[in-house]
């Protein structure tokens, strides 16, 4: 699309089916690299990816050449297939249906990046 300028920043979140904590530290970085490859293959720009054993956060700059729903379907479908083909979980892996997606202005990006970077701190439970 010649002469097209967009500035679309999307924070997407999706969850493992039943919120099962099956994304293990041993292979989560490879999963994140795989998802990054999907995003980049569609010419979107990944800003950060991180998560917890039961969910993933992605912040990316989105090009207007693809719908968000098509991209999310590709990310979730391809990554679950990759996890299952590589037998990274004991049982069949699935993402929960749906996702959350939020748009942010450029001025808000650093706060979102910090939030995604600090998932472990954000989700840390207090023990008494």
State pTM to two decimals: 0.90
Cα gap 78→83, rounded to integer Å: 9
Quick one: pLDDT at residue 96?
Answer: 97
Quick one: pLDDT at residue 70?
Answer: 98
What would the mean pLDDT of 22-26 be, rounded to a whole number?
Answer: 96
Report the CATH number of the 9-121 domain.
3.30.70.1290
Quick check: 35 and 102 in contact, CB under 8 A? no
pLDDT tens-digit map of 6-23: 999 999 999 999 999 999
Quick one: pLDDT at residue 128?
Answer: 40
Helix 68-85 and helix 25-41: axis angle, to 10°? 140
**For residue 56, what are its two tokens?**
């993933």
What would the mean pLDDT of 101-114 be, rounded to a whole number?
Answer: 97
Give the number of residues written for the chain.
128
Q: What is the DSSP letter of 3?
A: T
pLDDT tens-digit map of 39-53: 999 999 999 999 999
For the chain, the structural domain boundaries read 9-121
Nearest to 63 by CA among 7, 123, 17, 2: 7
As a whole number, the mean pLDDT across the chain is 94
Nearest to 12 by CA among 53, 63, 65, 49: 49
């Amino acid at each position: 699309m010649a002469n097209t300028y967009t500035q679309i920043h999307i924070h997407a979140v999706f969850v493992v089916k039943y919120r099962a904590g099956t994304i293990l530290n041993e292979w989560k970085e490879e999963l994140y690299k795989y998802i990054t490859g999907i995003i980049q293959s569609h010419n979107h720009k990944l800003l950060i990816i991180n998560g917890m054993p039961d969910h993933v956060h992605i912040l990316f700059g989105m090009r207007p050449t693809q719908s968000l729903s098509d991209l999310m379907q590709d990310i979730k479908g391809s990554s679950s297939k990759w996890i299952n083909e590589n037998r990274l979980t004991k049982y069949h892996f699935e993402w929960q249906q749906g996702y959350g997606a939020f748009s942010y202005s450029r001025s808000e990006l650093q706060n979102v990046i910090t939030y995604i970077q600090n998932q472990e701190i954000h989700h840390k439970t207090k023990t008494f």
